[in-house]
Chains A and B, each alone.
Chain A
Amino acid sequence: MEQVNNISISGMNNTETIVEISNLKKSFGNQKVLKDVTLQLYKGENLVVLGKSGSGKSVLIKCIVRLLNPDEGSIRVLGEDVSVIKREELSNLRMKIGFLFQSGALYDSMTVKENLEFPLRRIKKKMTQKLIDEKIAEVLENVGLLDVLHKMPSQLSGGMRKRISLARTIIVDPQIMLYDEPTTGLDPVTSDEISLLINQVQKKYKTSSIIITHDIECARATADRLVMLHEGQVYKNGKIGDYENSDDPFIKSFFKG
């Protein structure tokens, strides 16, 4: 296994830890998915978690928002231990986290507008309809889709669904963004557009992000730092250049086809 580096983020002034995962273990029956994962997300950075399918990437971010409960280890998000906090505190914490699902997860029975209103009405309860409409227009403009407001999700293409899903996630101004395979199933052009949007979201909303992917182009475009997961463990932690210049056969096979 390649050395696991505890690196600082050069070029970034702030190294405040936003998410701290320590010795995380998670199994499903006899299958050990995460064996011992330790990593940190620093303020303002885009951390890309790379790995083959089945390496436990999605399980990792689902543990961060406690959609899955870890077997062992701790996850601290914005200073709070996710695995022990009460449901109400968890709910408050989740308001600060945006989660872009692999499938987009738009609500099929609602229009695009209703999908965007849904989290706003629950998280920012005192917002007037005028402010809600303004916010919806703002996020739709950010994702470049102003003319789909009254369409149903079934009327949208895969790329459009991802964009609307991203709009629904950023509409509540999250501090942390978790992207689960944001470019999976998209053509290269749309994938590039989504990668660009991820960077724009980081700059505009000052978010700290974890991007789960096995798409090297997406990783190149978005990563401030990369963590590679292999067989449920952190295989390497470093900058994109460290990976591209690595002699490790596994990393080479990943980066050079």
Chain B
Amino acid sequence: MKTKLPVIKIVPKIRDASIKISEKTMVKTVEANEFLIGVADFFLFFSQAVRETFSRNFEFKEFLRQCHQIGFKSLPLISITGAIMGLVLTIQTRPVLDSFGAVSLLPSMVAISLVREIGPVITALICAGKVGSGIGAELGSMKVTEQIDAMEVSSTNPMRFLVVTRVLAATLMIPLLVLYADALGIMGSWIGVNIKGDVSFVLFISQAFSVFELIDFLPAVVKTFFFGAVIGVVGSYKGYTAGRGTESVGVAANSAVVLASLLVIIVDMIAVQITDMLI
């Protein structure tokens, strides 16, 4: 009897553990399955958007409206953040350069930092928040209120009208916004330099661009097109595939910002690696 007692206690524990493991495994398997289906769904959506981009009957008027919406309406936010970006970077960098006696390098260092990395990434992240969430929420609410279905039954391809126009507008407008942010960042830097010094704008600009080469500029511009495409595609995908309830609009907007921001950082990492290999 004494030897049997532990066996009776242990066997159910082992069974419980195996049941728990199999349940956990099932849950993880289902989650992994859903993740893979989501990834496949995203790439199918992307490939359909690309296919529709090159089809006939491009919705030019809607494309221009989206350019205005994404580009022009983002100018105030980008102006403020761009200028502050340059100003803060200058104020933070100055003491470090001062300790090496290299304050004269401040304009070119800030300009290179802004143009190569900080300007594109910060602007893209701000656009992921503003533009990505806007597209996600707009398309999500159109889905919930059956506007996308209405478009489909009135013989209009919603993918072409809603998605292609937004993705293309984001792809073209975000590089322009980045260039604008870079320019304002350099202006902000000039103000930052003049807080503790007296440098004319012409001298500042000539110093800033004295060490500039095409390789500093070109990869940074090229990657912003990818940032724009990512923000447009993710926002459109999250909105277009939103659920039917009103809460899905918020979910679509939120997940668009999260995923677009993450992908911007990943694309940036890849772009930096490629640039590094090419130089």
Residues of A within 8 A of B (CB): 62, 65, 67, 91-92, 94-95, 97, 99, 101-103, 105-109, 118-119, 122-123, 172
Contacts and interface: CB of A to CB of B under 8 A. Distances in A.
Contact of B155 (A67, A94, A101, A106): A94
B1 to A, nearest CB: 50
A123 B142 contact: no
B31 interface: no
Interface stretch (B103-111, B143-151, B174-182, B195-203): B143-151
A41 to B, nearest CB: 17
Would you list the 4 A-B pairs with minimal beta carbon distance, nearest first? Answer: A105-B150, A119-B154, A105-B146, A99-B153
Nearest to A87: B157
B141 A108 contact: yes
A111 to B, nearest CB: 13
B47 interface: no
Contact of B146 (A95, A101, A172): A101
A105 B155 contact: no
Contact of A118 (B138, B146, B152, B156): B156
Contacts of B152: 67, 94
Interface residues of B, number: 14
Nearest to B144: A103
A118 B154 contact: yes
Given A92-B155, A101-B149, A106-B147, 17 more contacts: A62-B149, A65-B153, A67-B149, A94-B153, A94-B154, A97-B153, A105-B146, A105-B149, A105-B150, A107-B147, A107-B150, A107-B151, A118-B154, A118-B156, A122-B155, A122-B156, A172-B154
Contact of A101 (B138, B141, B150): B150
A62 B153 CA distance: 10
Which of B138, B147, B153, B156 lies at the interface centre, i.e. has the most chain A CB atoms within 10 A of its CB? B153
A108 B142 contact: yes
Nearest to B61: A121
A103 B146 contact: yes
A118 B147 CA distance: 12
A122 B150 contact: no
A122 B146 contact: no
14 contacts: A91-B155, A94-B153, A99-B153, A105-B145, A105-B147, A105-B149, A105-B150, A108-B142, A119-B154, A119-B155, A119-B156, A122-B154, A123-B154, A172-B154
Contacts of B147: 105-108
